[in-house]
Chains A and B, each alone.
Chain A
Amino acid sequence: MSTSLLLLLIVVIGFIAYFAGRARSLAQSGGKLSNLHSLPGYHGSYVAIWAMLPAALVLGTWLIAAPIYIDGSTRAALPDTVQSQGGAAVQLALGQVKSVAGGLLRLSGEELSALENGSANLRSTLASKGVALAGEGEPYMVTVAQHFNAMTVANRWLMTAAVLLVAIAGGIYAIRNVATRFRARNQVERVILGSLIVASSIAILTTVGIVASMLSEAGRFFTMVSPFEFFFGTVWDPRFAAAGSGGASGQFGLLPLLAGTLYIAFVAMLFAVPIGLFAAIYMAEYANPRLRSTAKPLLEVLAGIPTIVYGFFALVTVGPFLRDISAQLNGLATGNYQNFIQAQSVVTAGIVMGIMLIPFVSSLSDDIITQVPRALRDGSLGLGATRSETVKKVILPAALPGIVGALLLTASRAVGETMIVVLAAGVAARMQINPFEPMTTVTVKIVNQLTGDLEFTSPQTLVAFALGITLFVITLGLNIYALYIVRKYREQYE
């Protein structure tokens, strides 16, 4: 029986168990629901959980454990001549045996016996059935493959039997527990709590795993390149990762990338913060509900556009536009029609990234501004202040910590952005201050170092992890600080 069919069967048993549990509790209630401690649905769920959960656990464990056991046993069945050749040869033979085993299943009885008595060639017979064998194939493989097949079949039957048995046993155990005073509701609650805990631990553990793997890879990088060179180096020139040669031949200075990252993020914020904040003030304080209900979602559509699309926009529209207009301006001023803004430049990336960030700034700030209690607004208006005086003197100061938190969150997004930068500011790692020239960022270089044929042994690729962990620390720091500020601000009105 296939695994998916088995799963389906477990679910069916679960359904039956649910209705059985329900029916039993109903019967015991004697027609009066108030006799029951828990509603019949809870009894049903309790029985269904007992029927499905242990069975699913058995199935899961079996699926993991069985292949390991079968492999071990097959390995042991290999002839001593192969076993004595050591790990790689055994592994190879095992692979071949498995393909032979797959092929054997497609053979008719005669072909099989022909193989067994040696009158047919293993490789050509299997090839005729569409199974390509890597080597010539040894006679012993047929026997071992048959052993393998037998075990697989037995395993399937055993697994099916065990799982179904556990499912039914669980269901019966649970249904015998169903009684009027039985606290099925509390039991179900515990299972729900357990599954919630499992879900959140998965989320947390993956994060921990990711960080740990980044750290260990970054650690390997720092054994090849000194942290001092990395963190304080001013030249980024990793050279090529020559396959196999592990020598640290390039220069891995973080500073040009960090400077580019912060510079572009700064220009983006310069662009996004005033526009986003003013939009938020308008939406929260001035716009009537009708306008607000249409304009706000429209503004938030901007947040849903994939950043690569903003990248195109930079590449084909904003970049050339800035280049041409700078040529015109230069021509008008000096008579020399030479553009002073490159098509790919810090400003191009900054402006386009700024456009991308506007909805983040505006929607986060809008939430914070509308949280300022109405009483403060009324107090100010009641003293004869105008709306803009109220905004400037009461609402913004009250909302300021929250807005700062929102801006920090936005900044951490700007720091992590990649696609816009690749297309709008280029990939040249340069250390300079002219905003009209190309620069590049940490994320772009991570992508750069990880494209192409990879071998995670050279500093050229491992540097990506060092860059990644640096970026991670920066954005994490920004986020934690932002959350701290936002939380502090929340308490203010409670």
Chain B
Amino acid sequence: MNIMSEAAVEKALDQKMNTVPYKMIGKDVSVYYGEKRALFDVNLNIRENTVTALIGPSGCGKSTFLRTLNRMNDTIENCRVTGKITLDEDDIYDPTIDVVELRARVGMVFQKPNPFPKSIYDNVAYGPRIHGLARTKADFDEIVETSLQKAGLFNEVKDRLHEPGTGLSGGQQQRLCIARAVAVSPEVILMDEPCSALDPIATAKVEELIHELRTNFTIVIVTHSMQQAARVSQRTAMFHLGNLVEENDTDKMFTNPDDQRTQDYIMGRFG
């Protein structure tokens, strides 16, 4: 586990971002869907206990890159990944790696909330059950409670843990999905436009949550909202047509980007 103390995080933040160690390293990552190439030699590193935002016009390969980080691309027919990606020095595309274990370490939250058609409790307990993270009922209860608390949902649902998760509002469903991901204690959480299906109030709650989660997790978030990237992230990576255009501190990215294309995109000149 990679839980830093609150103080350590604050301290890390106070230092220049560059000194934070890398959690994941992507080197010359290219992705092909059949004949079509969707990513071109992307070199992007993900820093520990940092929120990294991926931005860029739609179809530029943000989701594709995100999915390479926990090998969700494996589930897509005809999809091929080249290059090297490591998680704490382990090459995640090594044939000996266990994908199932990898996905337990690198969790994922999707664009559309997708709770299972089960109770709230069973949704959160799903991961711990398949990975055998707890034995007794009490252990499970505790995992469920703390996960829901981390996702800021516990107080809203504590009286109806055994009602279906699909009965919650959209924003609550998305926070349930975050709780579900948190419950298996991943090291990295990937989020693909987690707020795009939510109203502004629910979005604000999820953003606040992302901010808090950073203490314990490394987060990579795809977003099409510049304001959101500016609000929640410390590092931002800009993609364009399958290429990584620029990666920088978020503050710098939105005030004084190095690349003209980034500037154009942020000013809303394309995309």
- Give the B-binding residues of A (Cβ under 8 A): 288-289, 373, 375-386, 389, 393-394, 397-398, 492
Q: Is the CB of A384 within 8 A of B127?
A: yes
Pick the contact of A383: B75, B107, B118 (CB < 8 A): B107
B70 contacts the other chain (Cβ, under 8 Å)? Answer: yes
Do the beta carbons of A382 and B108 come within 8 Å of each other? yes
Whole-angstrom distance from the CB of B167 to the nearest CB of chain A? Answer: 12
User: Are B126's CB and A393's CB within 8 A?
Assistant: yes
Residues of B within 8 A of A378 (CB): 72, 75, 108, 110, 114
Do A379 and B127 contact each other (CB < 8 Å), given the known contacts A384-B103, A386-B100, A397-B117? Answer: no
Is the CB–CB distance between A382 and B70 below 8 Å? Answer: yes
**Residues in B neighbouring A382, C-beta threshold 8 A:** 70, 72, 103, 107-108, 110, 181
Q: What's the least CB distance linking B165 to chain A, in Å? A: 11
Contact residues in A for B184 (Cβ distance below 8 Å): 383-384
Q: Which residues of B have CB within 8 Å of A376?
A: 114, 116-117
Other than A382-B107, A384-B131, give 6 A-B pairs with Cβ distance below 8 A: A375-B110, A379-B177, A381-B103, A384-B107, A384-B130, A393-B130
Nearest CB of B to A381, in Å: 6
B117 touches A380 (CB 8 A): no
Asked if residues B130 and A383 are in contact (CB atoms below 8 Å), the reply is yes
A246 to chain B, nearest CB (A): 60
Contact between B104 and A379 (Cβ–Cβ < 8 Å)? no
Across the interface, name the chain A residue whose C-beta is closest to B103. A384
Chain A minimum-CB-distance residue to B100: A384
Nearest Cβ on chain A to B69's Cβ, whole angstroms: 11
Asked whether B159 is an interface residue with its Cβ less than 8 Å from the other chain, the reply is no
- By a CB distance below 8 angstroms, the chain B residues around A381 are 72, 75, 103
Interface pairs (27), CB distance under 8 Å:
A373-B114, A375-B110, A375-B114, A376-B114, A376-B116, A378-B110, A379-B114, A379-B180, A380-B116, A381-B72, A381-B75, A382-B70, A382-B72, A382-B103, A382-B107, A382-B110, A382-B181, A383-B126, A384-B102, A384-B104, A384-B130, A384-B184, A385-B126, A385-B127, A386-B100, A398-B116, A492-B117
CA distance A382 to B190 in the complex (A): 10
In the complex, what residues of B have CB within 8 A of residue A379's CB? Answer: 110, 114-116, 177, 180
> Which chain A residue lies CB-closest to B122?
A393
In whole angstroms, what is the CA distance A378 to B111 when docked?
A: 11
A429 to B251, CA, bound (A): 86
A398 x B127 contact (CB < 8 A): no
Size bin of chain B's contact surface? 20 to 34
CB-CB under 8 A from B180, the residues of chain A are: 379, 383
Are A389 and B72 touching (Cβ within 8 A)? Answer: no
Q: Is B23 located at the chain interface by the 8 A CB criterion?
A: no
Q: How far is the CA of A383 from the CA of B108 in the complex (A)?
A: 7
Chain A residues, Cβ within 8 Å of B72 = 378, 381-382
A383 contacts across to B, CB distance below 8 A: 103-104, 107-108, 126-127, 130, 180-181, 184
B199 within 8 A of A: no
Q: Which residues of A contact B14 (CB under 8 A)?
A: none
Rank and list the top 10 A-B pairs by shortest CB-CB distance, nearest first: A384-B104, A382-B108, A375-B114, A384-B103, A383-B127, A379-B114, A384-B100, A385-B130, A398-B117, A389-B130
Known A380-B116, A384-B103: A288·B77 in contact at CB below 8 Å: yes
Q: Which residues of B contact A385 (CB under 8 A)?
A: 100, 126-127, 130
Min CB–CB distance A492 → chain B (angstroms)? 7
| CB-defined contacts of B126 to chain A, threshold 8 Å | 380, 383, 385, 393
In the complex, A381 Cα to B127 Cα: how many Å?
10
| B114 contacts across to A, CB distance below 8 A | 373, 375-376, 378-379
- Which residues of chain B (172-189) have a CB below 8 Å from chain A? 177, 180-181, 184
Nearest-neighbor residue (CB-CB) of B166 within chain A:
A492
A386 to B130, CA, bound (A): 9
For the complex, what is the distance from the CA of A221 to the CA of B271, rounded to whole Å?
Answer: 78
The interface residues of chain A lying within 8 Å CB-to-CB of B131 are 384
Complex-state Cα separation, A394 to B127, whole angstroms:
12
Find chain B residues with CB under 8 A from A375 CB. Answer: 110, 112, 114
Q: Is the beta-carbon distance between B110 and A397 smaller than 8 angstroms?
A: no
B105 to chain A, nearest CB (A): 8
Q: Once bound together, how far apart are the Cα atoms of A327 and B126, in whole Å?
A: 51
A316, chain B: closest CB distance, angstroms? 44
Within 8 A of A (CB), among B66-100: 70, 72, 75, 77, 100
> B35 contacts the other chain (Cβ, under 8 Å)?
no
Whole-angstrom distance between the alpha carbons of A288 and B75 in the complex? 11
Output the residue of A377, A382, A393 with the most chain B CB within 10 A.
A382
CA distance A393 to B117 in the complex (A): 10
State the CA gap A289–B126 with chains docked (Å). Answer: 29
Which residues of chain B in 147-200 are interfacial with respect to chain A, using CB atoms and an 8 Å cutoff?
A: 177, 180-181, 184
